Chain A
Amino acid sequence: MLVQFYNVTKVYTNGVKALNDVSLKIERGEFIFLMGPSGAGKSTFIKMLFREELPTQGQIFISSRSIVRMKRREVPHLRRSMGVVFQDFKLLENKTVVENIAFAMKVVGLGNREIAARTAEVINMVGLKGKEDSFPGQLSGGEQQRVGIARAIANRPLLLIADEPSGNLDMVTAEGIMELLYNINRKGTTVIMATHARELVRDAGKRIITLEAGQVVSDLCTLE
């Protein structure tokens, strides 16, 4: 079991109850859509996974380890087992594509040779060959998100987390990004993706967890 939520409730300091008694389990290798209207609590759920926010009540286990009871200095190790993709990409504007990706590996202490090899590999995988030395400002939105995804998978995470990764992209570009995520999942990485775009999810044949007002209102598999 990769992810376990037990009766997780999150109340922000301003009193907003973003998650309300959420319990669920996610197996290794799954592809999960986290659906729900804006304000349903999707981003809050996502932030709990990499411990940007802690639950007000309840327990969360990642690979059978409680991240609630985890010590502060253990958090970096938790996060190294995950890759995160953001709606606004969060690329460093003053670094090239290669540097943006290498940065993630440098941070966790990989050697230069390993970094160069893996950078080439993921750039190939997300289809950005030839753009290595471009700056984010010189790339289209779809290309920028591919850099974001490359950065997220460079450290070979167990779990890839994406919060509205195609939220800023047009439909065709979004479908390209979805293909990429399916590919990554096929190679064994668990993927959790939050989105409110039904058209991306409808015929995917993946497990869909729907949140509404902080509660899980449905959790089912659609047909392929």
Chain B
Amino acid sequence: MILKNFGYFLKEALISLSRNRVLSLATVTTMAVCIFFLGVAVLLTVNAGNFMNQLESDIEIIAYLDDPLTDEELKDVETDIQSTAGVQEVTFVSKEEALQRLQEKFSQEDYDLQQTLGKNPLPNSFEIKALNPQEVAQVAQAIGDIPGIYKVNYGQGLVEKLFQVTKWVRILSMVFMVILALGAIFLIATTIRLAVFSRRKEIYLMKLIGATDWFIRWPFFIEGIMMGLIGALIAIGLLAGGYTSLINSAQTALFFIPLVSQQNFLVQVYMGLVAVGAVLGIIGTYISLNRFLNV
């Protein structure tokens, strides 16, 4: 039926769009605003997630070694760490290197730490990355039990807090997006209901003449989809423009926040929003139509 009558449905949809110009404009605007904010929410979530991932992956375990250890003992400890479950990467940091880093932190060339301290008091250590940042505590404990290791440090307490925070940020941003989507559907359903309401006489007539529900629905769906798409395109235009200029200025002003800027990924987000626009149009139309079809 849809194929045979597609020309008719499309024509009806276009006629209705241009006849109810004010209402169509209102719906498109509503769509654009909703999709824009949905897009903002998505980008915020993605960037927050990215930031969280980065924070999490910065977490590392530092295992300080007994002093002194022979080279052979050192090798043994390293193999033991590497064979511990959940370990991704192990880097050896010699006591000289540790002192060097400390020196860099003071960064005063004329102040020689080694000379001041005399003998280097820092131990040899291993820096260990966990496969899964969430398992850092268990991994650290297992490593602490390896003979030859004198102390393990991974920011105890702080790490747990960080995970609490990231968990909540993720949950909240999901909730926020769901609320936005529901709000968008509600607003769209309301504007489309007005459009449908202004044509209820026609719908009633079609029902009495013996039109099937789908025959009546299609022109409205096409109309809803078109409004959704136009709204989505407007929103994405604004969003893409805004985000691109944000990335450009962020490189200089906000260097400490790593913005997601892979083109492929962003294009995916924008395409997703276009699809969301069409789907919102369909759902909104479906909700507002059904009441009038019950004749």
Contact = CB atoms under 8 A, between A and B. Distances in A.
A76 B8 contact: no
Interface residues of A, number: 20
Contact of B209 (A52, A73, A79): A79
Contacts of B207: 79
Nearest to A104: B209
A75 B8 CA distance: 23
A77 B208 CA distance: 10
A107 B215 contact: yes
B158 interface: no
Contacts of A80: 209-210
Give the interface SS of chain B, mostly helix, strand, loop or mixed: helix
Please classify the interface of chain A as helix (H, G, I), strand (E, B), loop, or mixed, using the class held by over half of its residues: helix
B208 A50 contact: yes
Given A52-B295, A94-B19, A108 B210 contact: yes
A109 interface: yes
Interface residues of B, number: 18
B238 interface: no
Nearest to B205: A90
B211 interface: yes
Interface in A71-108: 73, 75-80, 84, 90, 92, 94, 103-104, 106-108
B201 A107 contact: no
A73 B206 CA distance: 14
Contacts of A76: 210-212
Given A52-B295, A106-B8, A109-B1, A92 B209 contact: no
Given A52-B208, A90-B204, A109-B215, 17 more contacts: A50-B208, A77-B210, A78-B210, A79-B207, A79-B209, A84-B209, A92-B205, A106-B8, A107-B209, A107-B211, A107-B215, A108-B209, A108-B210, A109-B1, A109-B4, A109-B5, A155-B210
